[in-house]
Amino acid sequence: MEALWADLSRNEAEVESPAWHADVLRETSERVARGEEKILDWEQAKAELRKGGK
């Protein structure tokens, strides 16, 4: 895993994000602007995932 991450990080400019990724980010941003998206910090998100929450 470390070798994969090191390779991806080193060649970051060469890794192209798929078109659908921009769509998902835009949709999420719109939900946040409308107050429909719950924003958690990483520790809160991990706790929610571990307890099976949304």
Q: What would the pLDDT profile of 8-47 be if each residue is shown by its tens digit?
A: 777 667 778 899 999 999 999 999 999 999 889 999 999 9
Residue 6 has pLDDT above 70, yes or no: yes
Does residue 8 belong to any structural domain of this protein? Answer: no
Does residue 53 belong to any structural domain of this protein? Answer: yes
How many C-beta neighbours within 10 Å does residue 48 have?
13
- The structural domain count of the chain equals 1
Residue-range definition of the domain harbouring residue 39: 19-54
Model confidence, pTM = 0.55
Does residue 25 belong to any structural domain of this protein? Answer: yes
In terms of pLDDT, which residue wins out, 9 or 54? Answer: 9
Q: What's residue 54's pLDDT?
A: 55
Tell me if 54 sits within 8 A of 48, measured CB to CB: yes
SS (H, E, C) the chain: CHHHHHHHHHCHHHCCCCHHHHHHHHHHHHHHHCCCCCCCCHHHHHHHHHCCCC
Does residue 41 belong to any structural domain of this protein? Answer: yes
Does residue 47 belong to any structural domain of this protein? Answer: yes
Does residue 2 belong to any structural domain of this protein? Answer: no
CA dist., res. 20 & res. 40, Å (int): 23
Q: What's residue 53's pLDDT?
A: 57
